Structure 1
Amino acid sequence: MKFPVSPKYVSRRSPVMARNVVSTSHPLATEAGLSMLRKGGNAVDAALAAAITLPVVEPTGNGLGSDAFCILWDGKELHGLNASGRSPAGWTPERFTGSSMPRRGWESVTVPGAVSAWVDLSSRFGKLPFETLFEPAIHYASHGFHVTPIIADQWQRGADELKSQPGFAQTFMPGGRAPGAGELFRSADMAQSLRLIAQTKGEAFYSGSLAEKIAAFARENDAVLNVDDLAQHKNDWCGTISQNFGDTSLHEIPPNGQGIAALMALGILQGTEIADLDPDSPEAMHLQIEAMKLAFADIHAYVADQLHMTDVTISHLLEPAYLARRGQLIDRTNATNFPTGAPKDGGTVCLATGDESGMMVSFIQSNYAGFGSGVVVPGTGISLQNRGFGFSTTDGHPNQVGPSKRPFHTIIPGFVMGKSAPVMAFGLMGGPMQAQGHLQMMLRTQVWGQNPQTAADAPRWRVISGLDVALENSMDAATIEGLAALGHRVTAEAPEASFGFGGAQMVHRIDGGYVTGSDPRKDGCAAGF
């Protein structure tokens, strides 16, 4: 594929082009991935080494207690992995009586799945020994690394909120404070946990010494997560769901994730003039925003652990006739507050890699809100996610909290396929921004022909709720004014106001290699050889 060269597509920095590429949100993680490729590993080995390094160098977005998802092209076939954990067996609806789930602390902690993703992906697709993938991460945890500027800012904000959570300050506030930019941070406890995971191929985490420490700390804090919950965790090779648009199709992991929202919005836009509009015009953004609002109205009502979507199913939500009907609700001249439809008749890290054999990987893992629950198991460096916050407490809702159940998830890897060949592995971290970012990246690269770095650099919009929309303050003033004139209640924000507009990592296939981009809103980079 050739990308157009035009003043319209001028980027802040040039994309990276090479036969082997890695794009992550931290330079040390990018280098960790490249080091595996230089050792003779493949794109999966590179992705895993980067993913294992990120909890060490970017603990503000993920940890050893994260969940993970992956979409990969193995050279012949597309695969999807759901490595999200389930709620403890002791989480009955009666345990949670408030109007919403707890956002922090032990009552937000579900079983972590990221470690199991590393194990399963390495076993099925990797070339290098599992322990080799851990070498960079163990080195940085043991000997330290210099904290980068954006992460330092996020670390301080996380520490301000979470310093009283069990175990947090002990691990992430050495000397009683968050480390500043340029300061050296190390964690001997995290290094030892990584060694145990590597040596036991994850067994220590789910049924061995680390599992026992997690369960013991839960008991100490009157939480119900136990060794049986950890031991019974399993991943699903779930495949993908997709939506065509022109000559390409966007692929997402099936629910319990929000990726289906990007597919629904893309399907709604099928019946519009979006492809003929300027990508940065208020008219193009208006159509995208309205399509996204329509999709969100439905997923908040219907999407849950797929086993519990017994009334409204995936096929109902992606039915072309239904999406066409939803699209007819868009008013070209005015923003609308859309109701839920009737589809049935009657702060995360992401990375992307590609190798010269043609293997491509989109991988994402997250603690959810920054450091997650804020709970860190003493002596392990294991920070636990707060994915339980994704459950509903509404009686009868398909996503109602319950025992051994996966919550609604925000983190989603993305993949674009052509008629029979892979086109792009990508992701965009940032909570509810992710499905919205997938839609924007898909349109910018596949419909409007922007290269990955230009697409990553471009100003973004984010639906908040109702008519409220956040716009990056770098967006053209005429576009902001145009959206306001269409009835959107717009707020211009700085890109890193609160993880608000996410961070994209993209690897796009070209003849004999890849062109890749890394989001300037993060500290990371893309590199290759």
Structure 2
Amino acid sequence: MLVAMILSDLTHYPYPSGRRVVMGQRGAVATGQPLATLAGMEMLWAGGTAIDAAVAMAIALTVVEPVSNGIGGDNFALVWDGQLHGLNASGRSPARFTPELFSDAEQIPALGWRSVTVPGAVSGWRSLWQRWGKLPFEKLFEPAIRYAEEGYPVSPEVAVHWRQAESTFLSLKQPEFQAFQAVFFPQGRAPAAGEMWHSLAYAATLRTIAESEGEAFYRGSLADQMAEFAAQTGGFLTLADLATHRADWVTPISTTYRGVTVWEIPSNTQGIAALMALNLLSEIELCQYPRESVESYHWQIEAMKLAFADAHAYVCDPAWMRVEQDHLLSRDYARDRHRLIQDTAIPLANPGLPKGGTVYLAAADGDLMVSLIQSNYMGFGSGVLVPGTGIAFHNRGLGFKLEPGHPNQVAPGKRPFHTIIPGFLTQDGQPIGPFGVMGGPMQPQGHLQVVVNLVDYGMNPQAALDAPRWQFVAGNRVLLERTVAEPIATGLADRQHLIRRGGFFGRGQMILRRNGVLVAASEPRADGLAIAW
């Protein structure tokens, strides 16, 4: 079986990162921040399910990695309980988000109220817990509240991103940004690695959400505070916008790549781009080329480029989709598109969106496996924070288009194109496990590369995450990680790719199951930690 091939050698690490897979039988958890991972283990040790662990980790990550997600963000999940379920907990645009609201703009502003859509993360936590949780809802908040009240030492990678945000957010002078600056830059600067950060207001908000099982966020005291602050500072979010929000259970989409079925959340996410690219790669035997070869890199880049072109032309809120996802995922369509790939790079228009700010986590126990992703977007998000709450809003409105007639054009009550995507693998109707790679447009590219590493090159989970990465940017521009060998960079340049070294290449986690054993790995590009028992 292919899953046996994927996990056939847990001792060979061709790309040493100092990390090794961890293995257990009863449960496993993995996030990009050790304190959040420990929050998940607390739930498992307390007798909770993998869902309890996943939700506790998601809540904790809003505190210990605020540069990437928060209470005011969105999330999505894939859950295996004998079959695969999808959850879309992304928010819709406010009722006042009409095209006329942006008539003076060439693009939607990244900062401020005009990028704020309804936050869906809290509804995602509640929906998952209601269906599969075993512990009291309030229990899942205990680690996050403890970190927020007592403080925690900022981890190194988080500190780097926090410091990078200084120039953007400390220069803002409008009233709606002042509370954000006071909470996240209390000394007029970002905290350094090892410095303590805490927020009593954040802890109080989490306690209110916990005690009300999320109701206060959408129809109670917190909703009142959010709507009132928006009204005072020129925002567009209203009580009605919050009260009408719902998280939706959705049917995951998939493709089968050399015997392994890869699953994604359907539109309004870009997950379909990873599946379309894998369909294109199915048309050749990629393993005939070494993993570290110009040919392997070239084929993957070109497949991803074509998939992005389609995703950004057609993917949007499903109520506005004009092309069936089944058509985009059909093998006939893949064969037609495959013919466009030549020995040299195809120049295409820019398919990209701004760099993301996202957290991904995975959890598993004997019965459940969970793939969950959560984000504020572009790091800290919009820069708008409700005073006295710690609720910092995401800026997911950036996912909309302003182009008249585009299916993803901004409109009231509409979900924007979303970059964050959880992934899951199955084979012959049985689960292999959850995986994900964070980072804006890097995410489907990371999914593609991890699947190729597992399936075509037989890597174990940690090696698949460690391996050098590329990122297609726009046109013929491609970023290469510094660990990519120079002959590959030169060879790609000879094929008319415009190569630049360095950039952001995502951060991921993975938990795969083999013969009842859970094999967990965490991304070496983050502060992450995987634990199994």
State the TM-score bracket (shorter-chain normalisation): over 0.9
Equivalent position amino acid for 2:509 in 1:
Q
Query: Pick from 233, 245, 263: which aligns with 1:233?
Result: 245
With over 3 angstroms needed to count, the CA separation of the structure-2 counterparts of 1:246 and 1:281, relative to structure 1, is same
1:474 shift after superposition: 1.0
Asked if 1:423 corresponds to 2:432, the answer is: yes
Equivalent position amino acid for 1:327 in 2:
H
Query: Pick from 320, 327, 351: which aligns with 2:338?
Result: 327
Equivalent position amino acid for 2:532 in 1:
G
Is residue 508–residue 514 contact of structure 1 (8 Å, CA) maintained in 2?
A: yes
1:290 shift after superposition: 0.1
> Which residue pairs with 1:337 in the alignment?
347
Query: Pick from 278, 285, 290: which aligns with 1:266?
Result: 278
Q: What SS does the aligned partner of 2:361 have?
A: strand
Paired with 1:375 and 1:394, the residues of 2 have a C-alpha distance of: 26
Paired with 1:464 and 1:155, the residues of 2 have a C-alpha distance of: 24
> Which residue pairs with 1:27 in the alignment?
34
With over 3 angstroms needed to count, the CA separation of the structure-2 counterparts of 1:369 and 1:484, relative to structure 1, is same
1:139 shift after superposition: 0.3
Q: What SS does the aligned partner of 1:217 have?
A: helix
1:7 shift after superposition: 6.5
Paired with 2:12 and 2:221, the residues of 1 have a C-alpha distance of: 58
> Which residue pairs with 1:344 in the alignment?
none
> Which residue pairs with 1:300 in the alignment?
312
1:285 shift after superposition: 0.9
> Which residue pairs with 1:485 in the alignment?
494
Alignment deviations for residues 224-275 of structure 1 (CA, whole Å, 9 cap, x no partner): 1101100100111002000111111110000000000000000111111213
1:160 shift after superposition: 2.0
Alignment deviations for residues 163-186 of structure 1 (CA, whole Å, 9 cap, x no partner): 223421111111222111111111
Paired with 1:160 and 1:32, the residues of 2 have a C-alpha distance of: 32
> Which residue pairs with 2:85 in the alignment?
79
> Which residue pairs with 2:67 in the alignment?
60
Equivalent position amino acid for 1:352 in 2:
A
TM-score by length of 2: 0.95
Equivalent position amino acid for 2:115 in 1:
S
> Which residue pairs with 1:110 in the alignment?
117
The within-5 A match list for 1:270-419 is 270-309=282-321, 311-331=322-342, 333-338=343-348, 347-355=357-365, 357-419=366-428
Query: Pick from 136, 139, 147: which aligns with 1:129?
Result: 136
1:11 shift after superposition: 5.2
Equivalent position amino acid for 1:330 in 2:
I
Alignment deviations for residues 359-396 of structure 1 (CA, whole Å, 9 cap, x no partner): 11000000011000011111000110000011000000
The within-5 A match list for 1:462-473 is 462-473=471-482
Alignment deviations for residues 23-80 of structure 1 (CA, whole Å, 9 cap, x no partner): 1010000000011001111111111110000000000000000100000101x11100
Paired with 2:157 and 2:306, the residues of 1 have a C-alpha distance of: 33
Query: Pick from 521, 525, 528: which aligns with 1:524?
Result: 528
With over 3 angstroms needed to count, the CA separation of the structure-2 counterparts of 1:259 and 1:361, relative to structure 1, is same
Paired with 2:485 and 2:471, the residues of 1 have a C-alpha distance of: 15
Query: Pick from 3, 12, 28: which aligns with 2:8?
Result: 3
Paired with 1:358 and 1:285, the residues of 2 have a C-alpha distance of: 37
With over 3 angstroms needed to count, the CA separation of the structure-2 counterparts of 1:133 and 1:37, relative to structure 1, is same
Paired with 1:38 and 1:425, the residues of 2 have a C-alpha distance of: 21
Asked if 1:13 corresponds to 2:24, the answer is: no
> Which residue pairs with 1:502 in the alignment?
506
Query: Pick from 44, 66, 69: which aligns with 2:76?
Result: 69
Is residue 294–residue 340 contact of structure 1 (8 Å, CA) maintained in 2?
A: no
1:3 shift after superposition: 2.5
Is residue 170–residue 378 contact of structure 1 (8 Å, CA) maintained in 2?
A: no
> Which residue pairs with 1:93 in the alignment?
99
Alignment deviations for residues 399-423 of structure 1 (CA, whole Å, 9 cap, x no partner): 0000000000000000011111001
1:277 shift after superposition: 2.0
Paired with 1:149 and 1:10, the residues of 2 have a C-alpha distance of: 20
Paired residue total: 515
1:338 shift after superposition: 4.1
Asked if 1:217 corresponds to 2:229, the answer is: yes
Paired with 1:7 and 1:370, the residues of 2 have a C-alpha distance of: 31
Higher mean Cα deviation, 187-196 or 278-287?
Answer: 278-287
Paired with 1:525 and 1:476, the residues of 2 have a C-alpha distance of: 28
Is residue 298–residue 340 contact of structure 1 (8 Å, CA) maintained in 2?
A: no
Equivalent position amino acid for 2:397 in 1:
G
Is residue 91–residue 120 contact of structure 2 (8 Å, CA) maintained in 1?
A: yes
- List runs of 5+ in structure 1 lacking aligned partners: 342-346
Alignment deviations for residues 68-94 of structure 1 (CA, whole Å, 9 cap, x no partner): 0000101x1110000000000011111
Is residue 13–residue 463 contact of structure 2 (8 Å, CA) maintained in 1?
A: no
- List runs of 5+ in structure 2 lacking aligned partners: 352-356
The within-5 A match list for 1:150-169 is 150-163=157-170, 164=172, 165-169=177-181
Is residue 32–residue 46 contact of structure 1 (8 Å, CA) maintained in 2?
A: yes
Is residue 301–residue 340 contact of structure 1 (8 Å, CA) maintained in 2?
A: no
1:466 shift after superposition: 0.5
Paired with 1:302 and 1:374, the residues of 2 have a C-alpha distance of: 30
RMSD of the alignment, in Å?
1.4
Q: What SS does the aligned partner of 1:440 have?
A: helix
Q: What SS does the aligned partner of 2:263 have?
A: strand
Higher mean Cα deviation, 504-513 or 157-166?
Answer: 157-166
Higher mean Cα deviation, 51-60 or 150-159?
Answer: 150-159
With over 3 angstroms needed to count, the CA separation of the structure-2 counterparts of 1:340 and 1:462, relative to structure 1, is closer
1:503 shift after superposition: 0.1
With over 3 angstroms needed to count, the CA separation of the structure-2 counterparts of 1:8 and 1:177, relative to structure 1, is closer
Paired with 1:407 and 1:37, the residues of 2 have a C-alpha distance of: 35
Asked if 1:196 corresponds to 2:202, the answer is: no
1:358 shift after superposition: 3.4
Higher mean Cα deviation, 84-93 or 95-104?
Answer: 95-104
1:424 shift after superposition: 2.1
Paired with 2:242 and 2:92, the residues of 1 have a C-alpha distance of: 9
Paired with 2:215 and 2:39, the residues of 1 have a C-alpha distance of: 24
TM-score by length of 1: 0.95
Q: What SS does the aligned partner of 1:107 have?
A: helix
Q: What SS does the aligned partner of 1:174 have?
A: coil
Q: What SS does the aligned partner of 2:165 have?
A: helix
